[in-house]
Amino acid sequence: MACALCLKELPLCASHIIPEFMYKSIYAPGNHRLSWIHSKDDLFDYRHKTLQKGLREALLCRGCEDQISQYETYVVGVFGRQRVNRQVTFDQQAGGLVIQNLNYQKFKLFELSLLWRSSVSSLIDFEQIKLGKRHEDRLRQMVLTGQPGEPHEYGCGIFRLVYANQADADGLICSPYRTRSEGIWQYLFVITGLLWMFNVSSHSPPRDWVASFVQRDGVQVVWNMPLLDVVGPKLIGKKFT
Ligand SMILES: [Zn+2]
């Protein structure tokens, strides 16, 4: 089988689609069960799924795996429990968080690799993330050649999901799903209480949307968003209040 990124016929790794560190905060102590909400048809059919190391698929050769893992290592250094990156600053403000001094290239390429992997994955959990050949090819080239593109290109807004009392909704992960707004396809990933909302179109999204994407000067604003706006009252009433 050919590597999905470099297209060379090489032995393939068992690649993560969503990097394991993104799941970490919801691994229960003592076992590796996690709360997983399947979003098929927006019904949010709640279920448990036992995972040892997240979802994997034979996708990338060793070299491409290592290339993508550089971006993951950077993001772990910024957000992980043992933060090693001290350049990045976090400024809590009313209604959100302003992150400064991010490495635009590494952070954006991490985001692009997540979106691209999900689109090329054949796992059922990613069935709603299908960008089509043109966008998949463009993303593959960007990730392969280390080109992050402009902020509006495949821009990703990041939101912190909160309950009505403003507490973090951090025990929550959904199968990624898509929606459409202003003529733009949006691909949504809810991972440990953060919503990563990718915007995919051939034209630039509205300016205020672009302001919520990571900027070339390394600024990313993470606004709070009520959980109710994302998953609906049915789910919240069932499990997550
Ligand atoms: Zn490869």
- Give the residue-averaged pLDDT of 166-191: 82
Output the CA 134–ligand 1 centroid distance in Å.
19
Output the CA 189–ligand 1 centroid distance in Å.
25
pLDDT over 90 at 61, yes or no = yes
Q: Which tops the pLDDT comparison, 218 or 168?
A: 218
Residues with CB under 5 A from ligand 1 (ion): 3, 5-6, 61, 64
What pLDDT was estimated at residue 235?
A: 47
What pLDDT was estimated at residue 40?
A: 42
3-state DSSP assignment of residue 26 = helix
Output the CA 216–ligand 1 centroid distance in Å.
28
The full DSSP string for 181-203 is: ETTEEEEEEEETTEEEEEEE-SS
Q: Is-contact 76 20, C-beta < 8 A?
A: no
Output the CA 6–ligand 1 centroid distance in Å.
4
- Give the residue-averaged pLDDT of 173-185: 84
What pLDDT was estimated at residue 217?
A: 97
Q: Which tops the pLDDT comparison, 105 or 189?
A: 105
What pLDDT was estimated at residue 81?
A: 66
202-239 pLDDT tens trace: 888 999 999 999 999 999 999 998 877 776 544 444 44
Give the pLDDT band of residue 24 (cuts 50, 70, 90).
low
Strands (E), the chain: 14-16, 33-38, 45-50, 56-58, 89-93, 96-100, 156-162, 177-181, 184-191, 194-200, 220-226
pLDDT over 60 at 21, yes or no = yes
Lowest-confidence pick of 26-40, 43-57, 179-193, 199-213: 26-40
Q: Could you tell me what percent of the chain has a pLDDT over 90?
A: 51
Output the CA 23–ligand 1 centroid distance in Å.
25
Output the CA 115–ligand 1 centroid distance in Å.
17
pLDDT over 60 at 48, yes or no = no
